[in-house]
Amino acid sequence: MIIIFDLDETLYNEITFVRSGFLSVSSYISKKFNIKKKIIFKKLQYFLKVYGRGKVFNYLCADLKIKCSIKKLINIYRSHNPKISIRKDSIYILKYLSS
């Protein structure tokens, strides 16, 4: 028997991954443009809430008045090493299914 899980919202909360990615992007922009990481992160969260994920980085760069490759920011977001943890109920079901 094979059981396949969709990771986001099944094994961990998706917003945890999103925030972790935003922190990675915030760190990159902070170092490149000398802007406080906390400010960038808060703006990303705001744009996510208001506009959804589609063009968060576009809105951020426009708001900060910086020229930055959106493709680069998306790559940083997608390829970052996430700081996420598995949900407790997911641990239970994985242990149950593995026996």
Residue with the larger pLDDT of the pair 92 and 73: 73
Q: Could you give the count of Cα atoms lying within 13 Å of 65 in the half-sphere of its Cβ?
A: 0
- In the chain, where the domains are located: 14-98
Summarised one tens digit per residue, pLDDT across range 21-79 is 999 999 999 999 999 999 999 999 999 999 998 899 999 999 999 999 999 999 999 99
Q: How far apart are CA 95 and CA 92, in angstroms?
A: 5
SS3 label, residue 38: helix
The residue type found at 53 is: R
Burial (CB count within 10 angstroms: exposed 0-12, middle 13-18, buried 19+), residue 68: middle
Instruction: State pTM to two decimals.
Output: 0.81
